[in-house]
Structure formats: structure tokens, C-alpha cells
């Protein structure tokens, strides 16, 4: 009898508060699946490959421009697997990529902040980004968590400045 191989996944969650922005405004940004390059710090281009905007099955292609001559452009194809406009939540999975992901599923949720009242016009929200991933060669789980946190904070800051 062969020994069983234990397969473990990395799981993590990051969150950011977005001041001056309602949950509805932030959801419009998050749910615009093929425009992530407008808000995400490391994505320079994003386009629809197949499917219908706002519907499960939508596939996008995301890429970042190489910053050094000898560096390869990083890219990924990602599929929207769930979208809930009422709950302001979506999930997507990485399909193909040259970043090192074997499996990666992320869930992004936008919510009102408890205690936000009329004095701020309800303009405070929170974005949570959780993920489940196979280990990525050359990375530690903490590296991926830090990267997700950095990207989420960048998005929150950009929303505060532009919405």
C-alpha cells in the first residue's frame, strides 16, 4: 500500500476600510470584473476573453508589464465563479497563468461598516478578500497574504481618492 500524500492549502484573509465611499460605490468597482487594471496596483491590462459581463463563467486576461528588460510579463486568465450583487460578494479562480499558481480561488466581499451613521452619510465600507490556494513555488504563505493586503489597501486608497 502506497503512503497517502497530504495535500494542504494556503488560506488567508485581508480586509481594508474605505472611508468616504459607500458599500454600493465600492461594489460597483469590485464587480466590474474586467476593469481590475484601473484599481489594482500590479495589473496594467485586463480584458474579457469570453462570457458576459457580470455573469458567472466570465473569463478575463490580466497582465502586468515587465519592469526589467530580462523580466517576463506576468499574466493570468481568471474565471468569475460566483457573483452576488445583493450580498456584494464575488469569487473567482485562476485558470492559466505564469505566476506559479496551481489553484487559487479568491472571494471579495464589500460590506457596510457597523456603526456608520448619518453623520458620515453611510460613506464607510469594508472590503474583505479571502483566498484558498495551493502553495506557490518560491513563496511563503505570508508572502501571498502580504501581497493580497498590499493590493487591497492600494485599491481602497484609490477608491477614497477617486469616488
C-alpha cell at 29: 468597482
> What pLDDT, on a 0 to 100 scale, did the predictor assign at position 38?
96
Q: How high is the mean pLDDT in each 10-residue block of the chain (163 residues)?
A: 74 97 96 96 96 97 83 94 98 96 97 73 91 95 96 97 96
Measured torsion, CA atoms of residues 106, 110, 115, 116, in degrees rounded to the nearest 10? 150
> In angstroms, rounded to a whole number, what is the distance separating the alpha carbons of residues 39 and 76?
17
CA–CA distance, 123 with 112 (Å, rounded to integer): 9
Q: What is the pTM of this model?
A: 0.91
Residue 115, by phi and psi: left (phi above 0), alpha (psi -120 to 50) or beta? left
Contact criterion met (CB below 8 Å) for 161 and 38: no
pLDDT at residue 65 in the model: 79
In the chain, domain spans = 8-159
Check if the beta carbon of residue 27 is closer than 8 Å to that of residue 85: yes
Three cell numbers, residue 65:
508589464
Cross-strand bridge partners of residue 90? 83, 108
B/e letters for 62-99, b = 16+ CB within 10 Å, e = fewer, are bbbeeeeeeeeebebbbbbeebeeeebbbbbbbbeeee
* pLDDT computed for residue 70 by the predictor: 72
**Overall fold of domain 8-159:** Alpha-D-Glucose-1,6-Bisphosphate; Chain A, domain 4 (3.30.530)
pLDDT at site 119? 61
CA distance 147 to 129: 11
- Residue 71's pLDDT is 79
Amino acid at each position: 500500500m502506497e503512503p497517502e500524500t497530504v495535500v494542504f492549502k494556503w488560506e488567508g484573509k485581508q480586509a481594508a476600510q474605505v472611508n468616504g465611499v459607500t458599500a454600493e460605490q465600492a461594489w460597483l468597482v469590485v464587480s466590474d470584473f474586467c476593469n481590475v487594471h484601473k484599481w489594482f496596483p500590479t495589473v496594467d491590462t485586463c480584458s474579457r476573453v469570453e462570457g458576459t459581463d457580470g455573469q458567472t463563467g466570465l473569463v478575463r486576461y490580466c497582465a502586468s508589464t515587465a519592469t526589467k528588460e530580462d523580466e517576463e510579463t506576468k499574466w493570468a486568465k481568471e474565471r468569475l465563479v460566483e457573483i452576488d450583487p445583493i450580498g456584494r460578494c464575488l469569487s473567482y479562480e485562476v485558470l492559466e497563468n505564469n505566476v506559479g499558481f496551481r489553484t487559487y480561488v479568491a472571494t471579495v466581499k464589500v460590506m457596510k461598516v457597523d456603526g456608520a451613521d448619518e453623520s458620515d452619510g453611510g460613506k464607510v465600507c469594508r472590503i474583505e478578500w479571502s483566498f484558498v490556494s495551493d502553495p506557490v513555488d518560491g513563496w511563503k504563505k505570508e508572502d501571498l497574504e502580504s501581497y493580497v493586503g498590499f493590493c487591497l489597501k492600494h485599491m481602497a486608497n484609490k477608491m477614497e481618492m477617486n469616488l
